């Protein structure tokens, strides 16, 4: 009896399947299909990441930890995300508030998006100044 249980437990794949190199079960022919359609190369966004390597550049780690700075950042983020006219890149810009000074960083699709996000930041209660470092992405 224990031999039949061990045999049933040891078999973890359906009949007619094989194991691929990444240890996942595949149906016959799927490996050949993967070979004909290789995974595309990852996007090269090195240039966009270079701006974060500048030691003088503010990053989200520089966000002020007091209640006022956190609230300002939260209100700006909520307004930006709620704006359906903005691109996904625009909705994902970095918003960093420290000492009630807001720094905006990241790519946007147009001058209009850049201006719209700056206007939201400037119109947020408690903001003393906005440093708009948003970059219009021409790609």
Torsion angle (degrees, nearest 10) of CA 76, 79, 81, 84? -150
* CA–CA gap between residue 3 and residue 96 (Å, rounded): 64
Residue with tokens 């437990």, as numbered in its chain: 9
Fold of 46-136: 3.30.1340
Q: CA 50: distance to chain centroid?
A: 16
Q: CA-based diameter of the chain, in Å?
A: 78
pTM of the full structure: 0.59
pLDDT of 39-50, one tens digit each?
A: 555 544 445 555
pLDDT of 61-90, one tens digit each?
A: 555 568 899 999 999 999 999 999 999 999
The structural domains of the chain, with segments of one domain joined by +, span 2-36, 46-136
Whole-number pLDDT of residue 44: 47
């Amino acid at each position: 009896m224990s031999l039949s249980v061990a045999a049933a437990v040891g078999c973890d794949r359906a009949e007619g399947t094989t194991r691929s190199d990444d240890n996942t079960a595949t149906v016959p022919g799927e490996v050949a299909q993967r070979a004909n359609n290789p995974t595309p190369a990852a996007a090269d966004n090195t240039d966009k990441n270079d701006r974060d390597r500048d030691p003088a550049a503010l990053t989200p780690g520089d966000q002020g930890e007091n209640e006022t700075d956190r609230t300002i950042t939260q209100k700006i983020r909520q307004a930006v995300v709620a704006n359906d006219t903005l691109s996904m890149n625009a909705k994902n810009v970095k918003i960093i508030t420290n000492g009630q000074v807001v720094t905006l960083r990241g790519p946007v699709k147009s001058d209009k998006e850049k201006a719209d996000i700056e206007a939201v930041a400037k119109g947020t209660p408690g903001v003393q100044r906005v440093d708009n470092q948003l970059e219009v992405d021409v790609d």
